[in-house]
């Protein structure tokens, strides 16, 4: 899957793309949907390059960027759905064209330079129109840590090592980074009480996840083979599946999450394509000590390179930190390579029943935690269910989120012989009810 677009020697005539540590060097080229801030413009497709957004639609319309007709139509649409539906071969063609046009070796840059929009001036929208959203439970470390809080003698469900567990989420309440939402209400049962009450959640939490965007769907009744799953996955972004832990604890048996999670999910605006992630593929963590899987979940290539080395970080900006001009407090750092299930296994399992995934559908990985308790992807784990306050650098503590707290997720990939790439930020703020 490696090609000339991954060449670590490549530089761009967009100077900020060559700065060490940038999320968006020319080797990344993630796609999103934007318009100029405070404008009435239609949203259209853009690509992140350094601290700029290249307006792909306007560049192609003015012949500053030559695209084949199908790609031109797709990039002029108000979402990424049309581009996703063309498949990864077309996406690879677009990536190659963009890479060639943005390289520092290309002399005629002024034609494209006028189609750059500073990121600070861009208003980002949801990358795609999302028909359905499914959230998985891919981190065995998260599943075990949460299980120990409620079932110390048997923390993992009996089926955990055999199937990728998931539930059907709520697509209508998914928002893009920068959003805020109100503290939700619901039923909860206080410790020692026999009757529930209706009220505001007092145990609000975040969940550090990655979102998997479906490109080409499958026909109803036709399962996607695990070996073919990659051709149905467009790319990845960050995802925060906000959770009201007190509401969730009372309602989740027997049918799983409902009001405890349906009020807000936040995604980052840039979709990093599978092709951009090719240098960072690694072996799955599943070992010979784990039980044998049913054949539809097994593929030699997926076992050898179906996981991804993606570092994951959670930051918290409290009102006091914000007022003092201080940076967000780092709560944890983990890595997606520690996930027990691969994204190909999630797609194969999701469709083995005949379920038809559609272009723009979103899959969440579930909370991504590491074996080290400091790599936990939620406050539920970091605070041991609320019993151990998490200290912050300014002397504050948190067991769960407080009003006007902002959670900032970040992710990046690094590997020998490859240029570091990032995902941008996934940011959301809990407002008072």
- The residue annotated as part of the active site, out of 6, 115, 141, 142, is 142
> Residue 15's CB: how many other CB atoms inside 10 A?
12
CA 138, 176, 355: angle at the middle one, nearest 5? Answer: 45
Whole-angstrom CA distances from 227 to 74, 134, 222 are: 27, 21, 14
Rounded CA-CA distance 72/62 in Å is: 11
Distance from first CA to last CA of the chain, Å, rounded? 48
From the list 378, 380, 431, the residue with the least C-alpha distance to 402 is 431
Q: Is 414 exposed, middle or buried (0-12, 13-18, 19+ CB in 10 A)?
A: middle
Rounded CA-CA distance 306/160 in Å is: 19
Whether 142 is catalytic: yes
Identify the three-state secondary structure at position 208. Answer: strand
Identify the three-state secondary structure at position 329. Answer: strand
Identify the three-state secondary structure at position 280. Answer: helix
> Residue 227's CB: how many other CB atoms inside 10 A?
14
Q: Are 415 and 280 in contact (CB under 8 A)?
A: yes
Q: Are 339 and 209 in contact (CB under 8 A)?
A: no
DSSP for 130-168?
A: -S-EEEE---HHHHHHHHHHH-TT--S-TTTTTS--EEE
Q: Is the dihedral of CA 120, 414, 99, 235 positive or negative?
A: negative
Q: Parallel, antiparallel, or unpaired: how do β-strands 421-431 and 179-182 relate? A: parallel
Helices vs strands, H then E, count in the chain: 11, 26
**Active site members:** 142
């Amino acid at each position: 899957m490696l090609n000339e677009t991954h060449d670590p020697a490549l530089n761009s005539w967009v100077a900020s793309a060559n700065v060490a540590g940038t999320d968006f060097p020319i080797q990344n080229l993630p796609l999103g949907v934007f318009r100029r801030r405070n404008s009435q413009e239609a949203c259209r497709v853009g690509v992140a390059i350094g601290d700029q957004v290249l307006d792909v639609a306007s560049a192609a319309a003015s012949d500053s960027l030559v695209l084949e007709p199908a790609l031109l139509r797709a990039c002029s649409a108000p979402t990424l759905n049309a581009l996703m539906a063309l498949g990864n071969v077309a996406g690879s063609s677009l990536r190659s064209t963009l890479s060639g046009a943005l390289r520092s070796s290309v002399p005629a840059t002024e034609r494209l330079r006028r189609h750059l929009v500073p990121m600070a001036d861009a208003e980002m929208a949801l990358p795609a129109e999302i028909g359905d959203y499914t959230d998985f439970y891919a981190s065995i470390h998260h599943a075990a840590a949460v299980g120990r809080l409620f079932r110390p003698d048997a923390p993992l469900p009996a089926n955990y090592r055999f199937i990728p567990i998931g539930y059907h989420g709520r697509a209508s309440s998914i928002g893009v980074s920068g959003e805020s939402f109100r503290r939700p209400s619901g039923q909860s049962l206080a410790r020692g009480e026999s009757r529930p009450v209706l009220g505001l959640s007092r145990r609000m939490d975040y969940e550090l996840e990655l979102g998997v965007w479906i490109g080409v769907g499958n026909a109803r009744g036709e399962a996607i083979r695990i070996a073919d799953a990659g051709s149905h996955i467009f790319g990845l972004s960050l995802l925060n599946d906000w959770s009201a832990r007190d509401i969730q604890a009372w309602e989740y048996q027997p049918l799983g999450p409902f009001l405890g999670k349906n009020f807000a999910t936040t995604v980052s605006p840039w979709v990093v394509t599978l092709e951009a992630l090719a240098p960072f593929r690694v072996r799955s963590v599943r070992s010979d000590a784990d039980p044998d899987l049913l054949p539809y979940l097994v593929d030699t290539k997926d076992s050898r390179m179906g996981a991804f080395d993606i570092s994951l970080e959670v930051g918290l900006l409290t009102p006091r930190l914000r007022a003092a001009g201080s940076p967000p407090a780092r709560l944890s750092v983990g890595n997606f390579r520690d996930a027990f299930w691969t994204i190909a296994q999630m797609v194969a399992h999701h469709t083995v029943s005949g379920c038809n995934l559609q272009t723009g559908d979103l899959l969440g990985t579930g909370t991504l935690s590491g074996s080290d308790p400091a790599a936990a992807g939620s406050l539920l784990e970091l605070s041991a269910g609320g019993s151990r306050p998490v200290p912050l650098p300014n002397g504050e503590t948190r067991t769960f989120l407080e009003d006007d707290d902002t959670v900032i997720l970040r992710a990046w990939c690094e590997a020998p012989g490859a240029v570091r790439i990032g995902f941008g930020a996934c940011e959301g703020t809990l407002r008072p009810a």
